[in-house]
């Protein structure tokens, strides 16, 4: 089955075309036909495509909106110019899978998109005003381009966190605010946490019930998830993606009184204060230099700048603190799994986070850690009782696989999913 995976943003549309079929769900034979991004929506767009042989193509189109640009892209993909033999016409795309940021309390699993599901995604706009409207635009654009009969599936960033119990998702504020405004922890990056925990399960050949891991998604946005018995029981992001770990430009946790204090002292409105915490804080805020971990690490090596060092130290300390908290919340864990651009690539950050967790049984194998860059593998010593792994995330693949399952009406991830076989083949 050829699945087009879409991630619609305010000014861009990311896409990936994956040839998968029911057998591929268990056999890892999915083929990425191409992936890329339509940029500068609203103006004349620029389309960038990475072909499966590594060739990059870039071309401008005179289209401005999402629908016309998607149509343009699909025409190009189906033409001889693209060289993608599997797609000769729009009808060769069998389904579209969408990343949808917020499913609120409504969606605990991926859903075949019907008018009712679309209405549910609309109901969640209040919870993700910057994201859900774009995701809806993407769904409507695909409906226009491919016609209403083509199955489309919504895969929610929040749904993996549906299993978080009440005591972990409620904030200690007046209960009626939860009832009235749905103020609670939802968590994000669910597709990534789910993908790496399922991949871990496969690597170890264990069942879902036996999966007890702390997953650390460290990218531009960062979050941790506590996964016990294959289910997420807590996560660091909250009502919005601002809570929790230190991120590229987001503060993560802070004393809530600071918000009002900054607003008063700096004469900022509530939304300006929120923007400051979202876009000028985190690694960028402390270092005053960059939100990019690579840049900070190069600077640290070259000049040992004090604020750059501090930014990295605060980042790693916060991450370690969450590992400790989740160990307590879970009653112990078998492994810490690193993913995301930083988690997959920075041996130094991983070592800094793990240093000081020897008490919990985690001993980093220096050589394995240094060698595991952008690849999958164990980075702890064999005699550790708490292991550490690196597992590159692949949200698009999970979206494509969920899409296939929804289209075929097969059971996919849900809390009631029966355990996988010991060979861990069911992803
Ligand atoms: P996003 O959350 O936007 O998907 P990524 O997961 O790609 O972002 O992560 C981006 C982050 O990963 C940036 O801070 C980048 O500097 C960092 N990163 C990528 N490669 C490396 C590397 N080799 N060493 C350190 N950090 C890296």
One domain for residues 134 and 214:
no
Its domain, for residue 96, covers 2-156+395-424
User: Hey, CA dihedral for 246, 182, 329, 337, is it positive or negative?
Assistant: negative
pLDDT band at 421 (very low <50, low <70, confident <90, very high): very low
Q: How is residue 332 written in tokens?
A: 């112990």
Residue-wise DSSP of 177-235: HHHHH--S---S-HHHHHHHHHHHHHHHT--STT--EEEEEESSSEEEEEEETTEEEEE
One domain for residues 385 and 403:
no
Q: Is the CB of 297 under 6 A from ligand 1?
A: yes
One domain for residues 277 and 372:
yes
Is 115 a residue of the active site? no
Phi and psi of 370, rounded to 5°? -65, -35
- The label of the residue with tokens 């925990």 reads 197
Nearest ligand 1 atom to the CA of 220 is 2
pLDDT band at 182 (very low <50, low <70, confident <90, very high): very high
Q: Which of 294, 296, 319 to mutate to test the pocket of ligand 1 (most atoms within 8 A of CB)?
A: 294
One domain for residues 407 and 376:
no
Computed over every residue of the chain, the mean pLDDT equals 93
- The label of the residue with tokens 């190069």 reads 298
With 0-12 / 13-18 / 19 or more C-beta atoms within 10 angstroms meaning exposed / middle / buried, residue 75 is middle
One domain for residues 309 and 412:
no
**pLDDT digits 0-9 by tens, 243-284:** 999 999 999 999 999 999 999 999 999 999 999 999 999 999
Q: 226: closest CA among 193, 181, 273, 192? A: 193
Element (DSSP H or E) covering residue 368 = helix 366-371
Q: 348: closest CA among 391, 305, 303, 312? A: 312
pLDDT band at 427 (very low <50, low <70, confident <90, very high): very low
CA-angle at 425, arms to 424 and 427, nearest 5°? 95
The answer to whether the beta carbons of residues 193 and 217 sit under 8 Å apart is: yes
For the beta carbon of residue 423, count every other beta carbon within 10 angstroms: 11
- The percentage of the chain sitting over the pLDDT mark of 90, rounded to a whole number, equals 91
pLDDT at position 60 is 93
**pLDDT digits 0-9 by tens, 77-120:** 999 999 999 999 999 999 999 999 999 999 999 999 999 999 99
Give the count of domains, the chain. Answer: 2
Bridge pairing between strands 222-228 and 31-39: unpaired
The answer to whether the beta carbons of residues 38 and 134 sit under 8 Å apart is: no
pLDDT at position 29 is 83
One domain for residues 126 and 211:
no
One domain for residues 214 and 290:
yes
pLDDT at position 43 is 86
One domain for residues 404 and 319:
no
pTM of the model: 0.94
Could you say which of 28, 80, 157, 304 is catalytic?
157
CA of residue 142 to ligand 1 center, whole Å:
30
One domain for residues 97 and 44:
yes
Q: 76: closest CA among 47, 37, 98, 39? A: 47
Q: Is the CB of 341 under 6 A from ligand 1?
A: yes
Residue 416 confidence (pLDDT) above 50: no
One domain for residues 232 and 145:
no
One domain for residues 253 and 331:
yes
Beta strands in 263-386 (DSSP E): 335-339, 377-378
- Atom 13 of ligand 1 has which residue's CA nearest to it? 292
Q: How is residue 29 written in tokens?
A: 């034979």
One domain for residues 240 and 301:
yes
What is the radius of gyration, based on Cα positions, of the chain?
Answer: 22
**pLDDT digits 0-9 by tens, 115-159:** 999 999 999 999 998 899 999 999 999 999 999 999 999 999 999
**pLDDT digits 0-9 by tens, 341-378:** 999 999 999 999 999 999 999 999 999 999 999 999 99
CA of residue 248 to ligand 1 center, whole Å:
9
Residue 3 confidence (pLDDT) above 80: yes
244 torsion bin: left (phi>0), alpha (psi -120 to 50), beta (else):
left
**pLDDT digits 0-9 by tens, 189-212:** 999 999 999 999 999 999 999 999
Element (DSSP H or E) covering residue 111 = strand 111-112
Residue 413 confidence (pLDDT) above 60: no
Phi and psi of 160, rounded to 5°? -65, -25
Q: How is residue 174 written in tokens?
A: 């007046």
> In this predicted model, which residue has the larger pLDDT, 355 or 426?
355
SS3 292: coil
Q: What is the CATH number of the domain that holds 350?
A: 3.30.420.40
Q: How is residue 178 written in tokens?
A: 């939860």
The answer to whether the beta carbons of residues 385 and 395 sit under 8 Å apart is: no
């Amino acid at each position: 089955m050829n699945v087009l995976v879409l991630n619609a943003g305010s000014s861009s549309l990311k896409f990936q075309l994956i040839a998968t079929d029911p057998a591929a769900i268990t056999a890892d034979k999915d083929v990425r036909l191409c992936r890329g991004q339509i940029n500068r929506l609203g103006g004349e767009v620029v389309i960038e495509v990475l072909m499966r042989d590594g060739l990059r193509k870039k071309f401008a189109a005179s289209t401005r909106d999402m629908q016309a640009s998607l149509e343009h892209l699909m025409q190009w993909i189906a033409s001889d110019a693209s060289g993608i033999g599997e797609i000769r016409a729009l009808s060769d795309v069998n389904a579209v899978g969408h990343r949808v940021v917020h499913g609120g309390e409504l969606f605990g699993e991926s859903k075949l998109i019907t008018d009712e599901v679309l209405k549910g995604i609309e109901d969640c706009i209040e919870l993700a005003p910057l994201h859900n409207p774009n995701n809806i635009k993407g769904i409507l654009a695909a409906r226009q381009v491919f016609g209403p009969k083509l199955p489309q599936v919504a895969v929610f960033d929040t749904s993996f966190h549906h299993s978080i119990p009440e005591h972990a998702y409620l904030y200690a504020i007046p209960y009626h605010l939860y009832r009235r405004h749905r103020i609670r922890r939802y968590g994000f990056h669910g597709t990534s946490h789910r993908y790496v925990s399922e991949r871990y399960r496969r690597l170890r050949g264990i069942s879902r019930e036996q999966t007890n891991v702390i997953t650390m998604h460290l990218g531009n946005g960062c979050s941790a998830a506590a996964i016990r018995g294959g289910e997420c029981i807590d996560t660091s992001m909250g009502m919005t993606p601002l809570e929790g770990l230190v991120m590229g430009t987001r503060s993560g946790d802070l004393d809530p009184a600071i918000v009002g204090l900054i607003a008063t002292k700096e004469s900022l409105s509530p939304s300006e204060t929120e923007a400051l915490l979202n876009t000028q804080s985190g690694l960028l805020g402390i270092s005053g230099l960059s939100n990019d971990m690579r840049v900070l690490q190069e600077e640290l090596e070259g000049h040992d700048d004090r604020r750059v060092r501090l930014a990295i130290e605060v980042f790693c300390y916060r991450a370690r603190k969450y590992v400790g908290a989740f160990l307590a919340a879970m009653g112990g864990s078998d492994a810490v799994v690193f993913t995301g651009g930083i988690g997959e690539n920075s041996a130094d950050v991983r070592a800094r986070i793990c240093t000081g967790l020897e008490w919990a049984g985690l001993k980093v194998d220096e050589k394995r850690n240094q060698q595991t860059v952008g690849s999958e593998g164990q980075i702890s010593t064999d005699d550790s009782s708490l292991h550490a792994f690196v597992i590159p995330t692949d949200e698009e693949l999970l979206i494509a696989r969920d899409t296939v399952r929804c289209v075929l009406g097969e059971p996919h991830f849900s809390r009631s999913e029966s355990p996988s076989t010991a060979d861990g083949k069911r992803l």
